[in-house]
Amino acid sequence: MNHCPSHQPPKVSALPTAVLVGKEYWRSLDELFDKPEYREWLEREFPNQASEWLGGTVSRRRALQLMAASLGLAGLAGCRRPDYPILPYTKTPESVLPGLPTSYATTIHRPGSAFPVLVETQEGRPTKIEGNPLHPWSQGATDLQAQAAVLDLYDPDRSREVMLTGQPSTWQAFDAFAETHISGLFERRGQGLHFLSEDVSSPALRLLREHLRQVLPEAVWHVHEAMGSENVDHGAALAFGKPLTPTYRFQNADVIVSLGSDFLGVEDGAVANTRAFAERRKVEDSLAPMNRLYVVENHPTTTGGMADHRLRLPASQLQEYMLALARELLSRTRQDQGSDNPSSKLVKSIVGVGSPVPLPSGWVREVATDLLAARGRSLILAGQQQPTLVHGLAHLLNAELGNLGNTVLLRERPEERIKSLGELTESMRRGEVGTLVVLGSNPVYDAPSDLEFGVVLKRVPHTIQLGLYPDETSAVCAWHLPMAHFFECWGDAETADGTYSPVQPLIAPLFGGRSALEIVARLCRYETTEPYEIVQSSFRRRTDLGMEAFRQFLHDGVLHDSAWPIVNAAPDWAALTRAVEEGEKRTADVGPNNLELSFHADRRLFDGRFANNGWLQETPDPLTKLTWDNAAILSPATARLSGVTTGDVLELNLAGRTLQAPACVLPGQADYSISLPLGFGRTRAGRVGNGVGCNPYRLRTTALLNMGVGVQLRKTGRTHRLACTQDHGSMQGRDLVRSLTLQEYRDLPAAQASAESNSLPLYNPAALDGQHQWCMVIDLNQFTGCSACVVACQSENNIPIVGKDEVLRGREMHWIRVDRYFTGSADDPGVAHQPVACVHCENAPCETVCPVNAAVHSPEGLNLQVYNRCIGTRYCANNCPYKVRHFNWFDYNQRPLDQLLAGPLAEKGMPELLQMQKNPDVTVRMRGVMEKCTYCVQRIERGKTGARLEAAGSAAYSIPDGTIVPACAQACPAQAIIFGDLSDPNSRVAQAKHRTRNYDLLGELGTRPRTSYQGRVRNPNPRLAATELVEEEDG
């Protein structure tokens, strides 16, 4: 087709005629959209249309109108090309070849941050998301939510039209309303006008806010995030006197202590963190020593799973641990100084507060020793939701250990006066809010329940909500405006460290949505309402660079070195001492009679914004392995105490508010601490997300935002079926995930490595005589279990979701599953993750048993599944020792998931919107056939074709190592998955296969898998390990 990809961005109109045709369609459609007649025609059902013809009253004019409309629709279906020059990030800049995807750089907004991506488009349809390799926050990798974002674009439940008090309206009607309404506001200098947005870090929006302050100085801007970073800001403000933004350099850290920080999981920047962290877990390649990670947390997290030492503590005791660590460290760093110095005062105040909780002694002493031994190369991290004091003390200790400037960088960002949701609610209660504009936020769902936001909102005379979905908040607002998806509009963004990146449209708005920039510009009468121009102004203002640089900015998807300046700061000892003294004195401790409840962001749905994304709903949580649900997570000891088993519905009562939630007993959870993932229990998320799970926001109040002590637990006697994809957590004494300590690994004799299965194949093995021999190595030492690969694979390979009922039956379709095993004791286990996809056995058990030759081997070592040959005997899946084959039990692609059992009576056909997401290079499978990982054979073939073309027809061609990357490996933030050609001895896979910790899963069966694993190497602190052992024996 005819996209406009070029290094030199031409205006669309400057392209050859072929392009113009498409553009003309587009233009006419644009015009048609605005015509009331067209709208009228569009909204009428087709059968009614027949009356026009039957009646014989069709005028010439009407007939032409209808023809024009159908022409317009033809344009709609075929060419949804945005109307602006977009700079592609592509291998073939001169032109786009049909059938070859083109990538564009853009950015996804995250709370207070952003995530830079490249979006693969197939002739104008975004189909796949990859990380932006030029941007430091991605380096080519992505996280789970970024991978799934493309599905939101095509969500049929997205808001499709402007609504006024629940009735369909039009943009024209809204514009007319806005015009008159704003005139009144301008007369009152904006008094009574309040904006509520998500924490969108966009310089363009900042520009508009500045303009707003000038023209409507009385207008107030509020920001609300359910999982916001206020505590991080307040903590920095406490420690340094100003809200500096800390960013971390894990690649420099030898010893990391994390206090409830899931920096490899749900916290912002996890992709970059994981990359930097994993860099120091590479046992063989890295010159720097392997790092050591201590994690103190109440609920198992991805980060906790990677820990060398993990301490389970109730969330309310993390602060105690921080105080104890601070006391230990400070008394050892400053012991030679007098009692007058600020350090001694702080230690004294800590002693004064007293610690009611006995902490494992080794955990304070030995961790402190380890930290002191690594001054300047250590790092103490506090989780985003940790109290201000914990953040403050973490900063102080980092400063004390000389980590500032080495592992912790403090950045100063432009300050802006923004108010909170609490302040907005106060104003609303006082009746000061005349007009409330909600931009994307959904406070009726996710605000602390004591604010009663939904109730108070009804008192506001004029409410306007711009949202991607008709959600809980739009149900209460007068106006609901469809928001353009971030793949449909212009904008810009900054990651939390200030690195600047663009938001480019990849497709014209599917449902005629507008962006927040457009709405705000209109409301504050900015010089233009064109987001493109606003973004350009914003770029000029932030960078003082010209258009040439702007083009490069769009092309790269990042402005290099644009992060906020690094500043030096000294900790404010006095303020921290005061904070310790004024801190809450703990009276009752968490225990069998005083349970604690903590809230945390769900690893998939985050705070609930992704609730209508089927891919995320069906991704199993890496720890609980739950899909389509959240649950109250209890430790086995707590469960025994309360007589609860997994699936029991509990009634939780926290400070008078109650919630019914199913229980999930999870080893590794702190005793007497119950965790509830947020993000579920939506009532107006859409067809996918409605009524899935329970809504913990109902228990969450301003005072008990992140945790509450004293929760009452009652069994209701009912049970709830939890769709868990893995019921067994024990390895049953089988060496599936192999694990060593660093010392054991170093002592391992090299000879042991080449112990290979020498079993003889029953049949003549397939001739593996291809030019390439593809294989994969998965490094379990770097693999965190983040599950980005699962959704990357789903997105690349057109894997359907199957719904909760089917997951309950064990029929999930993911080609990669992340196995989770517990090791050690049931109460305090270690966690091991292992991704398993088809391992492409050279002696594949599936191939010999298929009666119709649908499972065959390629000369390049790929185990191929021929869909149109498969008749679905399922013998191959039965005989697969790895159980990686997935059967299409129903026509998952063709039938609505709630009508699978209705068979031929169900609706048939895939909605056109969902068809647009599909990867054209991969077959969409029908029911009755088996499918499984192909090593992304479409990418292999594309790579080979490219190499052959480059070799200009000569038979000898070579593919440089790393050119062909399967979707899972490309997405992996930890670079745990390596793919390549075994016949090239210099390839990374070939090298990795020679390592001593390389092993074949179930290799003793003689299957000779092409995917091998690299054993985990842990780096425990021998002295702490010794004390833990002693305490365990004592206990």
Partner 1 sequence: MNQPIVEPLLDGQQDRHSRVLEGQDYHRLTEQICGIVERPVPRWWWPAFLTSLTTASGALFAAAYLISTGVGVWGENQPVGWAFDITNFVFWVGIGHAGTLISAILFLLRQKWRTSINRFAEAMTLFAVACAGVYPLIHVGRVWMAWFLAPVPNANAIWPNFRSPLLWDVFAVSTYATVSLLFWYVGMIPDLASLRDRAVTRPRQVIYGILALGWRGSGQHWHHYEIAYLLLAGLATPLVVSVHTIVSFDFATSVIPGWHTTIFPPYFVAGAIFSGFAMVLTLMIPARELFGLKDLVTDQHLDKMAKVLLATSLMVGYAYGVELFTAWYSVNLYERFAFQNRLFGPLAWGYAIMVLCNVAFPQLLWLQRVRGSVWALFVISILVNVGMWFERFVIIVGSLERDFLPSSWGQFIPTWVDLLQMVGVFGLFSTLMLLFLRFLPMVALSEVKATLPTRPSDFKAGYAVDEREHVASRVKEVRVS
Distance of CA 96 to the CA centre of its chain: 30
Residue among 653 and 894 whose Cβ is closer to partner 1: 894
Q: What value does the CA radius of gyration of the chain take, rounded to a whole number of Å?
A: 29
- CA atoms of 303 and 838, how far apart (whole Å): 27
CB of residue 908 to partner 1, shortest distance in Å: 12
Cβ-contact 616, 148 below 8 angstroms: yes
Residue type, position 821, single letter = Y
| Local structure of residue 925 (DSSP, 8 states) | P
CB of residue 820 to partner 1, shortest distance in Å: 7
Residue type, position 105, single letter = A
Three-state secondary structure readout of 928-969: CCEECCCCCHHHHHHHHHHHHHHCCCCCCCCCCCCCCCCHHH
Residue among 357 and 926 whose Cβ is closer to partner 1: 926
Summarize as ranges the residues that interact with partner 1 (CB under 8 A).
Answer: 726-734, 736, 763, 806, 809-812, 817, 819-821, 834, 836, 845, 847-853, 869-875, 877-879, 881-883, 885-891, 900-904, 926-930, 1002, 1005, 1007
- Taking CA atoms, 749 is separated from 236, 282, 298, in Å, by 49, 19, 39
For residue 707, is it left (φ>0), alpha (ψ between -120 and 50) or beta? beta
Q: Which of 583, 831, 829, 675 is nearest to 315 (CA)?
A: 675
Residue among 567 and 1002 whose Cβ is closer to partner 1: 1002
- CA atoms of 399 and 391, how far apart (whole Å): 12
- CA atoms of 601 and 599, how far apart (whole Å): 7
Cβ-contact 677, 603 below 8 angstroms: yes
Residue among 139 and 843 whose Cβ is closer to partner 1: 843
Residue among 331 and 873 whose Cβ is closer to partner 1: 873
- CA atoms of 209 and 195, how far apart (whole Å): 10
Residue among 288 and 902 whose Cβ is closer to partner 1: 902
CB of residue 752 to partner 1, shortest distance in Å: 20
CB of residue 647 to partner 1, shortest distance in Å: 14
CB of residue 864 to partner 1, shortest distance in Å: 13
CB of residue 805 to partner 1, shortest distance in Å: 10
Which residues does residue 834 pair with via DSSP β-bridges, in sequence order?
819
CB of residue 877 to partner 1, shortest distance in Å: 5
Residue among 394 and 790 whose Cβ is closer to partner 1: 790
SS3 state at 31: helix
Residue among 181 and 811 whose Cβ is closer to partner 1: 811
Residue type, position 908, single letter = K
Residue among 90 and 888 whose Cβ is closer to partner 1: 888
Three-state secondary structure readout of 397-453: HHHHCCCECCCEEEECCCCCCCEEHHHHHHHHHCCCCCEEEEECCCHHHHCCHHHCH
Q: What sign results for the dihedral spanned by CA atoms 912, 916, 920, 923?
A: negative
- CA atoms of 294 and 308, how far apart (whole Å): 6
CB of residue 878 to partner 1, shortest distance in Å: 4
Residue among 721 and 746 whose Cβ is closer to partner 1: 721
Residue type, position 98, single letter = P
Residue among 852 and 949 whose Cβ is closer to partner 1: 852
CB of residue 335 to partner 1, shortest distance in Å: 50
CB of residue 290 to partner 1, shortest distance in Å: 27
CB of residue 819 to partner 1, shortest distance in Å: 4
Cβ-contact 221, 441 below 8 angstroms: no
Residue among 112 and 622 whose Cβ is closer to partner 1: 622
Residue among 296 and 864 whose Cβ is closer to partner 1: 864
SS3 state at 633: strand
CB of residue 686 to partner 1, shortest distance in Å: 25
CB of residue 175 to partner 1, shortest distance in Å: 49
Burial 904-940 (b: 16+ CB within 10 A, else e): eebeeebeeeeebbbbebbebbeeebbbbbbbbbbbb
CB of residue 762 to partner 1, shortest distance in Å: 8
- CA atoms of 861 and 767, how far apart (whole Å): 9
Residue among 866 and 947 whose Cβ is closer to partner 1: 866
- Taking CA atoms, 431 is separated from 15, 39, 438, 458, 895, in Å, by 55, 39, 17, 11, 50
| Local structure of residue 483 (DSSP, 8 states) | B
